[in-house]
Amino acid sequence: MKETFRSDLLAGKTTVITGGGSGLGKAMALRMAGLGAKIGIVGRRLDKLQATVDEITAAGGTAACATGDVRDSAAVKAAFDAVEAKLGPANQLINNAAGNFLSASEDLSDNAFDSVVRIVLYGTFNCTRELGQRLIARGAPGEVLSIVTTYVHNGSAFVLPSAAAKAGVAAMMRSLAVEWATYNIRLNSVAPGPFPTEGAFSRLLPGSEIEKQAKRRVPSRRFGEHHELTSLVAFLMSDASPYQTGDIVTIDGAEALFSGQQFAGFAHLDRGMAKEMMAALKPKK
């Protein structure tokens, strides 16, 4: 990928990214480090976190990691302390850590529902409150971004805990965008459609047939590429977007619109054939 932003777009930013050791979290960590942000990644598995830190450092960036489960507010505090001890005060947060799996909702156990909601909703609150308290105490401006999903608006069958928790996250970002504007803290959500990662695809789109069907729901018939998502995130986390707060920005190649439009399927027909069919329906003069 040829870099499209100035290499110092994120200079002066110190960004904590949860779940930053793999998948989209790792992609954001690498891209943002390449644009001058210092990156603190927090997650459950030290080996993955350290590998990402090493990759960033080898590319000339600055990064540190700390283990911690976002469900545990004391662990979150300790992880922020550990990262700040190495990088200096954090002024940004990306709530990326998530939990999700496909299940019929009537079969969910207490613990299954609890696990996802605790990671997504409580985890986001724990991390956002932690950064917010630190920024407010220092009188420093900052940015928070939460990775949600396109089903944040309408819910989704078979991923109920995630749908409910992500809707809560979006509401949290919007509530705080108003409440913390006085502290110069901006909060936004990004709602990605399908961007291939091992973690999400093995859980949610298992098998090539299901993957093929998912691709058909995107008008361009392709999934998103990581750099397309990280470009949006870099912009939202930069000083190039100072007036954007409380937003939910969709990035899905119009997949959600396609799914909601009654005649969208025609877009996948051969255009010549589709036009012939429409012409045949036109009343003759």
- List residues binding ligand COA (CB under 6 A): 98-101, 103, 109, 111-112, 115-116, 119, 199-200, 203-204
Residue with tokens 């000083």: 239
- Confirm if 249 and 191 have CB atoms less than 8 A apart: yes
Answer for the pair 147, 188: CB distance below 8 angstroms, yes or no: no
Of the candidates 122, 151, 183, 243, the residue annotated as catalytic is 151
Active site residue 151: yes
199 or 219: CB nearest ligand COA:
199
Q: Give the residue with the Cβ less far from ligand COA, 112 or 136.
A: 112
- How far apart are CB 238 and ligand COA at their closest, in Å? 26
Choice between 74 and 279, CB closer to ligand COA = 74
Q: CB-wise, 86 or 203, nearer to ligand COA?
A: 203
CB of 192 to ligand COA, least distance (A): 10
Closer of 204 and 264 to ligand COA (Cβ): 204
Beta carbon of residue 132, minimum distance to ligand COA (angstroms, whole number) = 25
DSSP-derived secondary structure for the chain: ----S-TTTTTT-EEEEETTTSHHHHHHHHHHHHTT-EEEEEES-HHHHHHHHHHHHHTT-EEEEEE--TT-HHHHHHHHHHHHHHH----EEEE---------GGG--HHHHHHHHIIIIIHHHHHHHHHHHHHHHHT--EEEEEE--GGGTT--TT-HHHHHHHHHHHHHHHHHHHHTGGGTEEEEEEEE-----HHHHHHHS-SHHHHHHHHHTSTTS-PPPHHHHHHHHHHHHSTT-TT--S-EEEESTTHHHHHH-TTGGGGGS-HHHHHHHHHHHSPP-
Residue number, 48 or 186, with CB nearest to ligand COA:
48
Q: In whole angstroms, how close is the CB of 162 to ligand COA at the nearest point?
A: 7
> Nearest approach, Cβ of 3 to ligand COA (angstroms)?
27
Number of residue whose CB is nearest ligand COA: 99
Question: Minimum Å distance from CB 208 to ligand COA?
Answer: 18
Edge-first strand order for the sheet with 185-192 is: 62-67, 38-43, 14-18, 92-95, 142-147, 185-192, 248-251
Tell me which residues are annotated as active site.
151
